[in-house]
Amino acid sequence: MTATIKKLKDLTREKERIAKAREAYPFCITISSGTCGLAKGSGELVKAMQAAVKGLGLSKKVLVKSTGCHGFCDIEPVVHVAPQGILYQKVAPENAKEILSETVLRNNVLDKLLYTDPRSGQKVRYAQEIPFYKAQRRLLTKANDLVDPESIDDYIAIGGYRALAKALLEMNPEKVIDEAKKSRLRGRGGAGFPTGFKWEFCRRAKSDVKYVICNADEGDPGAYMDRSLLEGNPHSALEGMAIGAFAIGAREGIIYVRHEYPLAVRNIRQAVAQAKRRGLLGKNIFGSGFSFDVHIERGAGAFVCGEETALINSVQGLRGEPKQRPPFPAVRGLWGKPTNINNVETWASVPIIINKGGDWFARIGTEASGGTKIFSLVGKCAHTGLVEVPIGTSLREIIYNIGGGIKGEGDFKAVQTGGPSGGCLPRHLIDLPVDYDTLAKAGSIMGSGGMIVMDDSTCMVDVAKYFLNFLRNESCGKCLSCREGTQRLYEIVERICEGNGKEEDLDLLEELAQVVKDSSLCGLGQTAPNPVLSTLRYFRREYEAHIKDKRCPAGVCKSLIQYVIDGEKCIGCTLCMKQCPVNAITGELKKVHKVDSDKCIRCGVCVESCKPKAIFVV
């Protein structure tokens, strides 16, 4: 049944109808099936579970729901059994039947599928008891656990579109902007501009036509919260956009989403179509007289299109080259009309602010910045995934308490925040609170929320080289300083990594970095030197080791390392010899093997294949 929703009471009635239909099922099995989950086999698991439900004749008792990502990507695929509330991790299709026959029918917990807390060694039954979830404040991401992204009913069931109704029927645009200001919500894409003020600028611009855009061109490598939100709960961003459009006086919205996120594209397309069918987008929404329509543009793969003016050019079918600001998009944007751009996470925060009030939201974060922020905690961390915490939470809390510290035996060395515009923060800054201003002062940025944890096997010069390589490829080429500057910076760092660096290179890097910063038009160029400058600031010794000692302390830079076999540990199993793609290892069975450094290509396959861990890097 897909009744059109024309009035507030229709929404209320729909919510009740859906709730009633759900109550008919005593049990609900939820399987997380975002892109990460699918990569780990959740697609087959869903099919196996559906088949098992049918096979056991439970079709009228058990509802099988496939949702987006629950955040703890490390333990995917995750199965949640309701009403018991039990969480099973790393579930295989062959476990489907026993989950039904044991847990659902007999209330028995399957110990082997429970999560083990690595600190206590105890098995954990419920999600909220897992340390990864316990310390989070999941304002936005919680809905991902509950909502089938392909079902607008699921979103309505958790109170979806109630905020839009409230804004349209009980508030006026000024009041909406007021709440946004009170919430102290700042742009989650990275720049951190106060959202309420941004809306107000656009509202004040005089024009008959205005636009709102949802920036889902999440280009920062290492950040994927927008993908997760669009994949898992696409209606939340859509509802936020409609509220924002009402506030600034726009009737048309565009979602600009990366083509690299196929599932997000599919789910947001479906969500838009469903919302239109239900009358939650389109003409005269809730009978308020406000009309709003949305269409979707797929990005074509250009990092610079995360920049507002470049994104606008791209929507207009052009090369994504940025423009001089001012005029800001709020005055002259898409097709020369006032345009307001926010990213997915910002839009998805809006319904919460309208429902709960700006003051409530503001109390969660810091003095200068309200609410929560989602971080993608990845890299060498023990527990990787999406983490949502109040703004101002310390790096230590996020990396150690939620993330469980470093995976394996390594030591924490640095955390890279803010993607290619950000920087690397060293160990002694671990107690910094994560907010826009503190991280900027420390030489990085909070950015869109990427948090890549690095241990002592990560070479910071190599990380700088990595980002410069990324930026020289992604520079649109409009400004000479950015186009050539990032290229030259890359060449200097590359030669340092190859052992051909000179001592004066470090000063040259700093000087050139400053030029690129000062003389580039858009954010890409202005922040491009941050990865180099921050690593130089905190890890200068590592650069010096490469230059003076011709040594890569982390054992990463191929020109400066050699593989050596420890004669005492080698058991002479010949496995590494067989695996070596270039026959650089020689030896006989049960005798210590040897690596020929001239032949060796430093691929590391031998290290991974060696069971007694006899091969090491010098």
Partner 1 sequence: MKNKKPKRNGSGDPRLDKVLKPYKGEPREMISMLQDIQDEYGFLPEDALRQVAVALGVPLPDVFGVATFYRMFRLNAPGRHTITACVGTACHVRGVPRVVDELSRTLGVEPGQTTPDGEYSLETVACLGCCAIGPVVVMDGVYHGQVNPQTARKLVKTPAKAKEVVKS
**Residue (218 or 435) nearer to partner 1, CB:** 218
Assess 385 for contact with partner 1 (CB under 8 A): yes
Q: Is 150 exposed, middle or buried (0-12, 13-18, 19+ CB in 10 A)?
A: middle
Dihedral in degrees, nearest 10, Cα atoms 315, 318, 321, 323? -70
Angle at 385 between CA 404 and CA 108, to 5 degrees: 80
Q: Distance between CA atoms of 388 and 386, rounded to whole angstroms?
A: 7
* Binding letters toward partner 1, positions 44-73, x by CB under 8 A: x----------------------------x
Q: Which of residues 68, 149, 194, 219 is near partner 1 by CB under 8 A?
A: 219
DSSP string, 541-607: HHHHHHHTS---TTS--GGG--EEE-TTT-----HHHHH-TT--EE--TTS--EE-TTT-----HHH
Rounded to 10 degrees, the C-alpha dihedral 79/371/528/419 comes to: -10
Residue 83 preceded by cis peptide, ω within 30: yes
Give the CA distances from residue 574 to residues 18, 21, 601, 615, in Å, rounded to whole numbers and listed in that order: 63, 63, 18, 12
35 binds partner 1 (CB under 8 A): yes
Considering only 115, 155, 211, 303, the residue that binds partner 1 (CB under 8 A) is 303
Please say which residue, 49 or 302, places its beta carbon nearer to partner 1: 302
Query: Which tokens belong to 542?
Result: 């590592």
What does the per-residue mask of binding to partner 1 show for 534-573, with x meaning CB under 8 A?
Answer: ----------------------------------------
What's the closest the beta carbon of residue 452 comes to partner 1, in angstroms? 5
Identify the residue among 19, 318, 508, 589 touching partner 1 (CB under 8 A): 318
Q: Which is nearer to partner 1, 35 or 339 (CB)?
A: 35
Q: Which residues of 47-75 are buried (b: 16+ CB within 10 A; e: fewer)?
A: ebbbebbeebebeeebbbbbbbbbbbbbb
Q: How many residues bind partner 1 (CB under 8 A)?
A: 70
Q: Is the bond leading into 77 cis (omega within 30 degrees of zero)?
A: yes
Select the span of 184-192, 217-225, 235-243, 536-544 touching partner 1 (CB under 8 A): 217-225
Stretch that binds partner 1, among 50-58, 342-350, 370-378, 501-509 (CB under 8 A): 370-378
Q: How crowded is the C-beta side of 81, counted as CA atoms within 13 Å? A: 25
| 68-107: contacts with partner 1 (CB under 8 A) | 73-74, 76
CA 412 to chain centre: 21
Three-state secondary-structure class, residue 242: helix
Q: Is 482 in the site for partner 1 (CB under 8 A)?
A: no
Q: Does 320 bind partner 1 (CB under 8 A)?
A: yes
Among 291, 316, 500, 559, binds partner 1 (CB under 8 A): 316
Interface residue with partner 1, options 10, 22, 25, 43 (CB under 8 A): 43
* One residue of 12, 101, 574, 579 binding partner 1 per CB under 8 A: 579
Q: CB of residue 232 vs partner 1: minimum separation in angstroms? A: 13
Structure tokens at 226: 């927008």
**Both structure tokens of 221:** 């490598």
Q: Is the dihedral of CA 326, 329, 330, 336 positive or negative?
A: positive
- Which of 123, 283, 319, 540 binds partner 1 (CB under 8 A)? It is 319
Q: Which is nearer to partner 1, 86 or 406 (CB)?
A: 406
40 forms part of the interface with partner 1 (CB under 8 A): yes
Q: Among residue numbers 222 through 261, which ones bind partner 1 (CB under 8 A)?
A: 222-224, 227, 259-261
**Toward partner 1, which CB reaches closer, 379 or 426?**
379
Measured CA distances, 232 to 67, 156, 343 (Å): 6, 14, 16
* Residue 325 lies near partner 1 (rule: CB under 8 A): no
Is 476 a binding residue for partner 1 by CB under 8 A? The answer is: yes
The stretch among 15-23, 180-188, 340-348, 447-455 that binds partner 1 (CB under 8 A) is 447-455
Interaction pattern, residues 160-199, with partner 1; x per rule: CB under 8 A = ----------------------------------------
* 315 is an interface residue for partner 1 by CB under 8 A: yes
CB within 8 A of 519, min separation 6: which ones? 479, 481, 525
Beta strands 123-124; 115-116: pairing state: antiparallel
Whether residue 72 contacts residue 120, with contact meaning beta carbons closer than 8 Å, is answered with no
Positions of E strands within 13-61? 27-32
Q: Does position 444 bind partner 1 by CB under 8 A?
A: no
Q: Which residue has the tokens 């429970």?
A: 114
Contact 243, 164 (CB under 8 A): yes
Binding flag, residue 273, partner 1 (CB under 8 A): no
Residue number with CB closer to partner 1 (147 or 452)? 452
Q: By the 8 A CB rule, do 236 and 164 touch?
A: no
Q: Which is nearer to partner 1, 18 or 38 (CB)?
A: 38
- 298 binding partner 1? (CB under 8 A): yes
Rounded CA gap, 449 and 466, in Å?
Answer: 19
Read out DSSP for 303-347?
GGGGSHHHHHHHHTTS------SSSPTTTS-GGGS-EEEEEHHHH
Out of 179, 239, 474, 542, which residue is the one contacting partner 1 (CB under 8 A)?
474
CB of 431 to partner 1, least distance (A): 23
Q: Using CB under 8 A, which of the segments 137-145, 146-154, 318-326, 483-491 binds partner 1?
A: 318-326
Contacting residues toward partner 1, per CB under 8 A: 35-36, 38-44, 73-74, 76, 218-224, 227, 259-266, 269, 297-298, 300-303, 314-320, 376-380, 384-386, 416, 419, 450, 452, 454, 458, 463, 466-467, 470, 474, 476, 579, 581, 601, 603-605, 608-609
